[in-house]
């Protein structure tokens, strides 16, 4: 984008290379002072043999061999390397604690360490940020700290390769989701998180004061994304949303990340296909990191299409398992666990009773008591729900009233439906839950950097 600012920067930098990333090769040589890093640890290999390099990272171990020789292992986000300090460089290690931030300047040599590879014969080691002697968690994972302590010290926890792997996986999944949707002609939008009225029913909202007026944190972009289809056709949003539910489970958060999709001139089947593509793309992108995460993640990308199970069939299956569910009952978690046992992996539950669905969901094509709707499950975990929407303003108005909501509170929204609203469909996908599944985690808090739940507001 912008031209290189530093006169020292290499000319003809390949397009797309980030300016602050490592200068490689000859231009890096001789940079032995300060923290003029020349390499990420992961880039040290046979090709660097004999080079003078500067690497920066965090001290994982210090092994002192007498007063004038020590080995330390230094980890950065790309890997771990052993440095050997002798003489003066070793003297600089007095008082050095594990997990301190250091720069190591030295020469790359073949190592005699187990496992082979290279090491850095240190000419100089600078302690750039000293770590306290006793840390609230052990980021090396030798002693696995409890989740509460890890979250309280999340910044340090992030130094743990296991934890870092989860967030790299999340990053790859997000990139794949954006790529999938963008490739399918969806435009990414951002809708307000501060809203004026509790317009959707359903979950409780967080109230807040907005210049002397009452307002709320948005629970979903539902109404805005539907409106946006009128001009942009296919839209999606990936944002945080807020639910003031006092849920104490391993799968609920007060602040969660939702992937929301809405498409004009599409029915529920169309967007189910979109959802399958998105989930498959995310799973494929996540796969390389799955092994590094607890539980190992998914064994391989899931086959599509996902199985479709009509709600009525789910009720029958539950009856055959001795679970009494009346047609029209919502499926409780215990029921979903039974279904999840019978259908491990991804599957849809479709054709829900209309009464169980929000006001904007369209009735069934053949049965007005059913709906053109679906939930995407992974085992017993609900990942997504969506469907075809009502696009006729009169139908929407009467459904609002039927659900006990005041159409007057939806004036602006209803008005937009008289400006040529296309038939449209969409879904919302819980990204944190998807990452939980893809990384093989058992608590959604692990998949969120700084999770918010009814009992946790910090850090």
Partner RNA sequence: GCCCUUGUAGUAUAGCCCGGUCUAGAAUUCGGCCCUGUCACGGCUGAGACGCGGGUUCAAAUCCCGCCGAGGGCGCCA
- Looking only at residues 94 through 133 of this chain, which bind RNA when binding is defined by CB under 7 A? 95, 97-98, 111-115, 119, 121, 133
Chosen residue from 129, 142, 213, 299 binding RNA by CB under 7 A: 142
Which segment (23-31, 36-44, 249-257, 274-282) binds RNA by CB under 7 A? 249-257
Does 84 engage in binding with RNA (CB under 7 A)?
A: yes
Does 254 engage in binding with RNA (CB under 7 A)?
A: yes
Report the residue number, 10 or 69, with the smaller CB distance to RNA: 69
DSSP string spanning 48-90?
A: GTT-EEEEEEEEEEEEE-SSSEEEEEEEETTEEEEEEEEHHHH
Say what angle helices 161-183 and 431-439 make with each other, to 10 degrees. Answer: 120
Q: Where are the alpha helices (DSSP H) in 184-264?
A: 222-232
Query: Whole-angstrom Cα distance, residue 422 to residue 229?
Result: 8
Q: In the bound complex, what is the minimum distance in angstroms from residue 333's beta carbon to RNA?
A: 3
Unique residue bearing structure tokens 């934890």: 163
Which positions from 190 through 209 interact with RNA, judged by CB under 7 A?
A: 202-204
Q: In the bound complex, what is the minimum distance in angstroms from residue 433's beta carbon to RNA?
A: 6
Chosen residue from 33, 49, 65, 208 binding RNA by CB under 7 A: 65
Chosen residue from 249, 327, 341, 459 binding RNA by CB under 7 A: 249
Which positions from 344 through 373 interact with RNA, judged by CB under 7 A?
A: 358
Does 87 engage in binding with RNA (CB under 7 A)?
A: yes
Of the candidates 105, 58, 57, the residue with the CA atom closest to the CA atom of residue 84: 105
Which positions from 268 through 327 interact with RNA, judged by CB under 7 A?
A: none
Chosen residue from 7, 11, 66, 129 binding RNA by CB under 7 A: 66
Which positions from 392 through 411 interact with RNA, judged by CB under 7 A?
A: none
Q: What are phi and psi of 280, to 5 degrees?
A: -65, -40
Query: Which tokens go with 439?
Result: 């990384």
Does 428 engage in binding with RNA (CB under 7 A)?
A: yes
C-alpha torsion sign, points 324, 252, 439, 182: positive
Which positions from 154 through 193 interact with RNA, judged by CB under 7 A?
A: none
Does 330 engage in binding with RNA (CB under 7 A)?
A: yes
Chosen residue from 234, 252, 343, 413 binding RNA by CB under 7 A: 252
Query: Whole-angstrom Cα distance, residue 98 to residue 240?
Result: 36
Chosen residue from 13, 24, 64, 342 binding RNA by CB under 7 A: 64
Identify whether 459 is preceded by a cis peptide bond (ω within 30 of 0): yes
Residues 273, 275, 279, 281, Cα dihedral to 10° = 60
Which segment (79-87, 301-309, 320-328, 399-407) binds RNA by CB under 7 A? 79-87
Does 243 engage in binding with RNA (CB under 7 A)?
A: yes
Which positions from 202 through 241 interact with RNA, judged by CB under 7 A?
A: 202-204
Chosen residue from 425, 433, 434, 447 binding RNA by CB under 7 A: 433
Query: Whole-angstrom Cα distance, residue 121 to residue 111?
Result: 9
Report the residue number, 40 or 255, with the smaller CB distance to RNA: 255
Query: Which tokens go with 382?
Result: 């609900």
Q: In the bound complex, what is the minimum distance in angstroms from residue 418's beta carbon to RNA?
A: 26
Of the candidates 367, 373, 358, 377, the residue with the CA atom closest to the CA atom of residue 426: 373
Report the residue number, 146 or 368, with the smaller CB distance to RNA: 146
Which segment (2-10, 40-48, 225-233, 376-384) binds RNA by CB under 7 A? 376-384
Q: What is the CA radius of gyration of the chain?
A: 27
Does 253 engage in binding with RNA (CB under 7 A)?
A: yes
Query: Whole-angstrom Cα distance, residue 293 to residue 438?
Result: 9
Given a contact cutoff of 8 angstroms between Cβ atoms, the answer to whether 290 and 438 are in contact is: yes
Q: In the bound complex, what is the minimum distance in angstroms from residue 85's beta carbon to RNA?
A: 10
Chosen residue from 50, 136, 207, 305 binding RNA by CB under 7 A: 136
Query: Whole-angstrom Cα distance, residue 151 to residue 448?
Result: 10
Of the candidates 291, 377, 392, the residue with the CA atom closest to the CA atom of residue 336: 377
Does 137 engage in binding with RNA (CB under 7 A)?
A: yes
Residue 35 CB burial class (10 angstroms; 0-12, 13-18, ≥19): middle
């Amino acid at each position: 984008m912008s031209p290189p600012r530093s006169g020292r920067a290499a000319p003809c930098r390949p397009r797309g290379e980030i300016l602050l990333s490592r200068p490689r090769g000859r231009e890096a040589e001789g940079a032995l002072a300060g923290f003029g890093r020349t390499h990420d640890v992961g880039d040290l290999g046979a090709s660097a043999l004999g080079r003078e390099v500067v690497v920066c990272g965090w001290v994982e171990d210090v092994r002192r061999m007498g007063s004038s020789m020590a080995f330390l292992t230094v980890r950065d986000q790309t890997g771990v390397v052993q440095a050997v300090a002798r003489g003066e460089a070793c003297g600089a290690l007095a008082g050095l604690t594990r997990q301190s931030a250091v720069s190591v300047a030295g020469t790359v040599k073949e190592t005699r360490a187990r496992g082979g590879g290279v090491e850095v014969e240190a000419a100089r080691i600078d302690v750039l940020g000293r770590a306290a002697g006793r840390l609230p968690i052990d980021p090396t994972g030798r002693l696995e700290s409890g989740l509460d302590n890890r979250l309280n010290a999340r910044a340090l926890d992030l130094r743990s390769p296991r934890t870092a792997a989860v967030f790299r996986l999340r990053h790859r999944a997000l990139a794949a989701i954006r790529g999938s949707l963008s490739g399918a002609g969806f435009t990414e939008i951002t809708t307000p998180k501060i809203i004026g009225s509790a317009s959707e029913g359903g979950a409780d909202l967080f109230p807040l004061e907005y210049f002397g007026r009452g307002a709320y944190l948005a629970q979903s972009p539902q109404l805005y994304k539907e409106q946006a289809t009128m001009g942009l056709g296919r839209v999606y949003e990936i944002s945080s949303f807020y639910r003031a539910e006092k849920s104490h489970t391993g799968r609920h958060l007060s602040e969660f990340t939702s992937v929301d999709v809405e498409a004009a001139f599409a029915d529920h089947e169309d967007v189910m296909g979109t959802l399958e593509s998105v989930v498959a793309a995310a799973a494929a992108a996540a796969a390389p990191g799955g092994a590094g995460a607890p539980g190992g993640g998914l064994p391989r990308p899931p086959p599509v299409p996902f199985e479709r199970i009509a709600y009525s069939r789910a009720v029958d299956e539950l009856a055959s398992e001795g679970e009494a569910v009346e047609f029209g009952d919502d499926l409780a978690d215990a029921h979903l666990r039974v279904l999840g046992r019978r259908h491990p992996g991804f599957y849809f539950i479709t054709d829900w009773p209309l009464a169980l669905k929000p006001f904007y969901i369209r009735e069934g094509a053949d049965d007005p008591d059913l709906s053109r709707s679906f939930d995407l499950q992974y085992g017993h975990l609900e990942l997504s729900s969506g469907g075809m929407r009502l696009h006729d303003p009169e139908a929407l108005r009467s459904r609002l009233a039927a659900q006990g909501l005041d159409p007057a509170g939806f004036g602006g929204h209803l008005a937009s439906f008289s400006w040529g609203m296309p038939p449209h469909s969409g879904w919302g996908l819980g990204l944190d839950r998807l990452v939980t599944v893809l990384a093989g985690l058992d608590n959604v808090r692990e998949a969120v950097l700084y999770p918010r739940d009814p009992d946790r507001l910090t850090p």
